[in-house]
């Protein structure tokens, strides 16, 4: 297969996965389908940025048409993950969080209802994906020169990666995670630049997992603080339990942060 055609194939697969999984969400509110749809969109973003930066397409702008579906699915996913984490911490701390769990469950159902409504009024149309596929499948984009430019773009992004100095700047960490995901998905779709190896892909995959765990804990921390301070009476026993929960979250966040920082430092030194 032509090297550039391989990326077209990956694009088609991701587009089909996004559409298929969003349809499953609309029909039955499937949480795994939400996760898979978001992964597919992250792949599409990675590929779109490659095309835009190397051959001047406007794919990033085009796929923003589905940003509402993506963001709303993200709200569902974040709430679902928070719900699972609270249950896990409850067993670990031997504490009950009945009110907080009820609040998260209510929020999740509301988010799901809204997402399914969004998908009804703004469905994912096959025709749109096919139009964009015709752009990237153009003969002039199927060349060794284009592939070379894409490899250079991946290397350039990798060289911009820096080890975080603290976990206080959640926005910067989130941006770093997005860049690592872009690199990871690009390396799977484009012939690997010489400076990368299978070891890099394995380590970046593990890094993304660590970043994901940290992000889930951070989101839970924000939700817990908001619920404790704004929606819960201080006289309830659960108020004290939430203080314990916040301490446990902070401890685990720090552990995940140290692990991802060490792994990234080691990988950049090896490179």
DSSP of 75-118:
HHHHHHHHHHHHHHHHHHHT---HHHHHHHHHHHHHHHHHHHHH
pLDDT the model gives residue 1: 45
pLDDT the model gives residue 4: 56
pLDDT, tens digit only, all 271 positions of the chain: 455 578 999 999 999 999 999 999 999 888 999 999 999 999 999 999 999 999 999 999 999 999 999 999 999 999 999 999 999 999 999 999 999 999 999 999 999 999 999 999 998 888 888 888 888 888 888 888 999 999 999 999 999 999 999 999 999 999 999 999 999 999 999 988 988 999 999 999 999 999 999 999 999 999 999 999 999 999 999 999 999 999 999 999 999 999 999 999 999 986 5
pLDDT the model gives residue 134: 86
CATH of the domain at 230: 1.40.20.10
Dist. CA 229–CA 156, nearest whole Å = 44
Structure tokens at 78: 């974040």
pLDDT the model gives residue 195: 87
- 251-255 contacts, C-beta under 8 A, 24 or more apart: 252/217, 253/167, 253/214, 253/217, 253/218, 253/221, 254/167
pLDDT the model gives residue 177: 96
pTM, 2 dp: 0.93
Enclosing domain of residue 32: 3-270
Phi-psi region of 118 (alpha: psi -120 to 50; beta: other; left: phi over 0): alpha
Phi-psi region of 236 (alpha: psi -120 to 50; beta: other; left: phi over 0): beta
CB 203 within 8 Å of CB 64: no
């Amino acid at each position: 297969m032509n090297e550039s055609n391989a990326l077209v194939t990956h694009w088609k697969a991701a587009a089909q996965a996004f559409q298929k999984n969003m349809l499953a969400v609309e029909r039955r509110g499937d949480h795994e389908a939400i996760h898979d749809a978001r992964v597919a969109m992250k792949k599409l973003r990675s590929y779109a940025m490659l095309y835009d930066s190397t051959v001047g397409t406007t794919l990033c702008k085009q796929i923003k048409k589905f940003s509402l579906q993506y963001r709303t699915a993200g709200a569902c996913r974040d709430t679902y993950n928070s719900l699972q984490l609270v249950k896990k911490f409850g067993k670990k701390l031997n504490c009950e969080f009945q009110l907080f769990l009820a609040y998260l469950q209510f929020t999740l159902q509301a988010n799901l209802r809204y997402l399914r409504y969004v998908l009804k009024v703004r469905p994912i149309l096959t025709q749109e994906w096919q139009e964009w596929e015709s752009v990237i499948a153009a003969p002039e984009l199927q060349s060794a020169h284009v592939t070379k430019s894409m490899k250079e773009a991946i290397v350039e992004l990798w060289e911009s990666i820096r080890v975080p100095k603290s976990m206080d700047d959640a926005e910067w960490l989130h941006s770093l995670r997005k860049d690592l995901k872009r690199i990871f998905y690009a390396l799977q779709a484009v012939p690997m630049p010489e400076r990368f190896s299978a070891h890099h892909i394995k380590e970046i995959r593990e890094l993304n997992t660590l970043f994901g765990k940290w992000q889930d804990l951070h989101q839970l921390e924000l939700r817990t603080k908001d619920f404790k301070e704004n929606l819960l009476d201080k006289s309830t026993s659960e108020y004290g339990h939430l203080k314990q929960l916040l301490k446990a979250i902070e401890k685990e966040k720090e552990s995940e942060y140290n692990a991802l920082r060490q792994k990234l430092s080691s990988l950049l030194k090896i490179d």
